[in-house]
Chain A
Amino acid sequence: MCLKAICEGRRITVLVFALMSTMSSPAGADIGSNGKVKSPYVQDRAVLAEEVARIKSISAHTRLLRDVAIQGTHSPGGGRDVGLMYVTGNRVAGDPLFAFTGTTEDGKPASVDFSEVESFWVVPRDDAAPGGGKLLVEIVQFPLITPEELVQRQPSYSELFDHNRKTLRLWLNTQATPNKTLCLVGKDETRQYRIIARASNLTQNTKITFDYGTFAFGQINLPAIWWAIPSVTRDSNYPYRTIVKS
């Protein structure tokens, strides 16, 4: 059972609070009845492409994973600042990659930045047998748009959803060397990177959804939803809203 008590209101994002001392309070925005929007931007203020690009970069490094189903265990994986890394044994050392890098089914090299990933799942395939060193994943890319185009076009959420969403299948190499295996890694409560799951152990046919993390702005944390510019969040279908979960 999941009852959601929704916070309604006409005043804007939490960023207003952070910026209150440096700028005048922006005008209120009617955001409908689904709670206050989550956005790193001040509503009703023009957002620059550079600003979006900066937050997009932060977004790629701060994605969250919860309830990742792993074969052979009932314990779900999860973590913050999720990345991909080739790991020897259980020791996580070095910097993770924040993108899916592999080849398409046509054999062309491709890379999908984590800031553009909505969800992914492991596709079961006979030619990707365990121990075969490769894995096929289907990635839902959203939103597939550059910061410049986003700022220029000023789309609504519904427009973004209809026109800037794509599904891509990528072959990933699960082994760099015989000892190094591809792992999803994330930070735990101690802010240390640890293995969430080995790529080859991810449960097939199960969707793994990336959530957005936060970044510090002054005294407060803002959600790194880089594409949540005012034109997008004004749409009543925009799903990221401040709610009290229960």
Chain B
Amino acid sequence: MTDEEKQQIIERLRLEQQLRKELHAGDEEKTPSRFRWLESKFGILIVGAVVSGILVPVFQYTQETIKWKRQNRYENVKYNLGMMREGMKEFVYVHEFVAEAYERARPFIENPTLSQKEFDTYYQQQLDMQSKRFQQDAKFASLLIYFPDKQKGNLRQIYNDYLANVESYMGRLKTIVQIRSKLLQKMPAANAQQLRDQLEQLQAELDGAILKLNQDYDNILQIMKQQIGESEDVSESYM
């Protein structure tokens, strides 16, 4: 044998040895794992049963719960929104009494020649109107609870200030009519002049009161519009 042939035989033996090592290593890796049974038909049956019997219903239940909660929240927001819109409408009716009171008192403010009978009719109508006004105030107050907590304090506070200003305004109107009524009676000229001065001052005060009432009215409406708008935004976020 030549050296070259010997070298080839050695090379082949080395290659065989290396191949055996690699094959042996492959055998070690092929040790059966504990999940190998899953590859069997029985395993697949079990896995299928678990997925369709447990996981799918759990997933569907969770989805339904999320959907239901979302729907519930949406319904609440929608209901609140409706009540808030109702509240804004009722507030406009609340303010209508301010205009009505002025219109009822206007003949007495502008016309100094009225009979006592007309004054008596006014007092009776004024009583009826005040009664309706209080009912309307209560109706609106009951709807204030639907406005969000964050701003509710402010809205309630401004509304209370508004009510106080309305009371003061109504009081001025009543006093103006009473002075007009007194002026119908005979009295010394100095007393009559004093009453006329008082009347003039009350009329000027009435202008200031109307200005303030209009500001309060606008502020309350603006806050309500903003809160309704915010609720509409929330309502849309559920879509």
Contacts and interface: CB of A to CB of B under 8 A. Distances in A.
Given A5-B99, A74-B228, A246-B96, A20 B158 contact: no
Contacts, number: 96
B218 A13 contact: no
B195 interface: no
Contacts of A25: 200
Given A78-B226, A244-B210, A5 B219 contact: no
A7 B226 CA distance: 30
Contacts of A67: 222, 225
Contact of A7 (B158, B210, B212, B219): B210
Interface string A203-226: 000000000001000001101000
Q: Chain B: interface residue count, which band?
A: 35 or more
A18 B121 CA distance: 34
Contacts of A78: 222, 226
A3 B99 contact: yes
Contact of A9 (B109, B158, B223): B109
B204 A17 contact: yes
B201 A17 contact: yes
B201 A38 contact: no
B88 interface: no
Nearest to B101: A244
Contact of B106 (A8, A20, A36): A8
Interface string A176-194: 0000000000000110000
A150 interface: no
Contact of B99 (A14, A77, A246): A246
Pairs of residues from A and B, 7 with the lowest C-beta to C-beta distance, nearest first: A75-B229, A5-B99, A17-B204, A74-B229, A74-B232, A246-B99, A244-B99
8 contacts: A9-B109, A9-B110, A14-B211, A75-B225, A75-B233, A220-B208, A221-B208, A221-B211
